Amino acid sequence: SLRMVKNDWDFEQIKAAADIADEALRQTLPYFKEGVTERDLALELEFRMQKLGSEGMSFATILMFGERCALPHGSPSERNLSKGEFITLDFGAVVNGYRSDMPRSYVLGKASKKLSAIY
């Protein structure tokens, strides 16, 4: 159920979920290489969150490359990552029923001037 007023324990659970998601992403960043698929990165991130203690995913992990980043709620596909492409993620961990939400954006390598202007 939804708690309108949260106490210190509630906030500790939310922080723990955010810490798990943050650490899982940190551990997954070395896998962000040319040729990797959206699906493989999403699975790696989800595995690491669960390995760190998450009870599951806050919601279906969003992880997309390139032009697919424009999709508001796309699912990871077999699309491969190329240098200079944007990477969009939205993911979260669960601790004692409390969920984190971590939207992030990256570029593999350096973005072109055109992509930088668009972003």
pLDDT digits (tens, 9 = 90+) for 96-106: 999 999 999 99
Q: What is the CATH number of the domain that holds 67?
A: 3.90.230.10
The answer to whether residue 23 sits within a structural domain is yes
The count of domains in the chain is 1
The answer to whether residue 3 sits within a structural domain is no
The answer to whether residue 1 sits within a structural domain is no
Sign of the CA dihedral with 92 first, then 61, 45, and 63 last: negative
pLDDT tens-digit readout, 2-58: 678 889 999 999 999 999 999 999 999 999 999 999 999 999 999 999 999 999 999
Give the tokens for residue 43: 């699975």
Q: What is the mean pLDDT of residues 76-99?
A: 97
Secondary structure letter of residue 55 according to DSSP: S
Q: What angle do CA 55, 88, 51 make, to 5 degrees?
A: 25
Q: Which domain holds residue 108?
A: 8-118
The answer to whether residue 22 sits within a structural domain is yes
The predicted structure's pLDDT at residue 117:
84
The answer to whether residue 79 sits within a structural domain is yes
Torsion angle (degrees, nearest 10) of CA 37, 38, 42, 43: -30
pLDDT grade for 1, boundaries at 50, 70 and 90: low
pTM: 0.91
The answer to whether residue 32 sits within a structural domain is yes
Give the tokens for residue 82: 């190329």
The answer to whether residue 2 sits within a structural domain is no
